[in-house]
Amino acid sequence: MNLTQEDWISQLEADENAVILDVRTEDEYNDGIIANAINIDIHMGQGFVNEIETLDKSKNYYVYCRSGARSAKACEVMNELGIENAYNLTGGILAWNGDVVAP
């Protein structure tokens, strides 16, 4: 599900079962992240699928990338793998107005 930044933040802040997932490359991740994000690079292909399959399906995942395209695809893959609650940050970290921190 695609959420605007405002909806993504408000839903995230109210969610005690939230996990923030950054699906960018390791280099991009190291340039700065949304606080507490974990990194699983969608470009890893089957490796990405394998990592997603190990995640707790009962959690709610707030997913972002650089511009929102990769994270939208990641949410689709996550849904296919049984993670029902995956929320894409529309516009990605490029449109992010919040803090960006070192990983």
pLDDT (tens digit, 9 = 90+) per residue, 10-60?
A: 999 999 999 999 999 999 999 999 999 999 999 999 999 999 999 999 999
Catalytic residue among 65, 83, 86, 89: 65
If DSSP states are collapsed to H, E and C, what string results for the chain?
A: CEECHHHHHHHHHCCCCEEEEECCCHHHHHCCECCCCEECCHHHCHHHHHHHHCCCCCCEEEEECCCCHHHHHHHHHHHHCCCCCEEEECCCHHHCCCCCECC
Output the pLDDT for position 94: 95
pTM of this structure: 0.97
- 78: region left, alpha or beta (phi > 0 left; psi from -120 to 50 alpha): alpha
> How far is residue 103's CA from residue 25's CA, in Å, rounded to a whole number?
13
pLDDT the model gives residue 24: 98
What is residue 81's predicted lDDT score, i.e. its pLDDT?
97
Is residue 75 part of the annotated active site? The answer reads no
* 63 neighbors 21 (Cβ within 8 angstroms): yes
- Going from the N-terminus, what domains does the chain have, and what CATH number goes with each? 2-95 (3.40.250.10)
Average pLDDT, the chain: 97
